Amino acid sequence: MLSFEPGTVFGSRHLADIFSTAPMRTIFGERNSLQSMLLVEVALAKVQGQLGVIPAEAAAAIASAARPELLDLDELAAGTLRAGLPVVNLVEQLIRLTGKPHGEFVHWGATSQDIMDTALVMQMRDALELVHRELERLISAIADLARLHRDTPMVGRTKLQHAIPITFGFKVSVWLSGLLRHRQRLAELKPRVLQVQFGGAVGTFASLGDDGDRVRAALARELGLGEPLVAWHAARDALAETVCLLGLISASLSKIATDIASMAQTEIGEVLEPGGQGHGASSTMPHKRNPIVCEQILSTGLSLRRLASAMLDASVHDHERATGPWQAEWSLLPEAFLLISRAMDNAVRLCSGLVVRPDAMQANLGRTKGLIAAEAVMMALAPYVGRHHAHEMVSAACTHAIASGLTLAESVSRDPAVTAHVAPHEIEKAADPARYIGLSGREVDRVLAACADRPAGAAPEAAPLTRSEST
């Protein structure tokens, strides 16, 4: 339960929106956390009243009293400090607000972790829906880029060096493929994590006897959650899996941001971040347009992936109820959702408004005077002299071209050992980078077709986004 106090970036007026979004802060804010716990207590009383476990009139009285605005937050803070968790005092206040005799049926057969875990799952359900929506928006934005630039040639780079030509559509389709896997992972995750927690002190329903499993099943239905095989007080793998998934998503977003920031370098200039006056401004250099959206994606990703590691450590619980790891989750998990919310919102803004510069891409293809198509020339020669020997011949021609300032085609064409097999006009054709993009377009089409294959539980089609500007 986060309160976003001043002193943290999430509680700062000027930093909160750099590291999170308002909707996600609302989900994990103090008021919603308390409201969620009260909803669980009300739902528990309701189903127990329906099953005859407690009087129906007691359930109605508990529902009427369970209003977060009636809670004394100062008392709750003091009580939480004494007990080490908020539910003890929350229940004390709810009993008092309900009044006698009905207040005695508050929290019937439950333990504190039942309430907090189930309330957390309800918050996570809303948070995962936000992640899902943003993921679909991002998929739509990147699919637009892939479709628009299916055949836009550009430099392919390996080890930060020119490799062979690709298309920009192919590059963004690689980004898109990872997001489609995350869509599948998210759909598979939800049934595992969105489960009610209810079992009493150690999960055996000892205080409810034969009514225990019936109450759990009814509570799950009432809250719209799944019913677990057994209490998961000390089995936290689904929560750890959730944060690891958020970490994986952040890694994909960071890959996108890394590529875009690199392509936006002055010497490359193939793309620009969206933005108007003052976007990415420097306090001292008037000409600067810093890639600030990419920076924010990368910074939140660094923090989030560390949380994934910490969450794995926090999933190791001792015996039936843990000594410490559970409490660590209270800050780790909400913070992970806060960070991914900002990263995803930034990624949507970045990709839906990305300024793409095909002219700069074309200029960079020609920067090495055909050297980028050296493999194409080699493969044209290989059927006649063998691949290894062709590699040596073209490599020598590349060295000569660099030293002499000739184009690759000119250098290769001066070698009679090459022209004995391949005519100069064929060499010129092979050295054209735009002709050596392989199956880039067909690969783009495969990924775009996969966008339509939605897993069960996928969010509805995102609204169309404005296409990125091309110049």
Catalytically active residues, by annotation:
282, 321
Phi, psi of 106 (to 5 degrees): -65, 140
Q: CB count, 10 Å around CB of 47?
A: 23
Q: What would the two tokens of residue 65 be?
A: 């009293």
Q: What would the two tokens of residue 344 be?
A: 């995803």
d(CA 114, CA 237): 17
d(CA 252, CA 254): 5
Torsion angle, alpha carbons of 379, 367, 443, 461, to 10: 180
**C-alpha angle 126-130-135 in degrees, rounded to nearest 5:** 145
Phi, psi of 232 (to 5 degrees): -115, 30
Torsion angle, alpha carbons of 233, 459, 127, 93, to 10: -70
Which residue in 172, 165, 171, 219 sits closest to 197, CA to CA?
219
Phi, psi of 229 (to 5 degrees): -65, -35
Q: What would the two tokens of residue 195 be?
A: 């489960």
Strand ranges inside 4-149, DSSP E: none
Query: What is the residue whose two structure tokens read 């070698």?
Result: 415
Give, in order, the Cα–Cα distances in Å from 46 to each of 32, 70, 106, 305.
20, 20, 11, 40
Helix (H) and strand (E) counts in the chain: 19, 4
Q: Which residues pair with 49 in a beta bridge?
A: none
Residues 6+ apart with CB under 8 A from 175: 142, 252, 255, 256, 259
**C-alpha angle 237-242-243 in degrees, rounded to nearest 5:** 100
Task: Output the 3-class SS for 160-222.
Answer: CEEEEEEEHHHHHHHHHHHHHHHHHHHHHHHHHHCECCCCCCCCCCCCCHHHHHHHHHHHHHH
Q: Which residues pair with 166 in a beta bridge?
A: 154
Strand ranges inside 235-314, DSSP E: 271-272
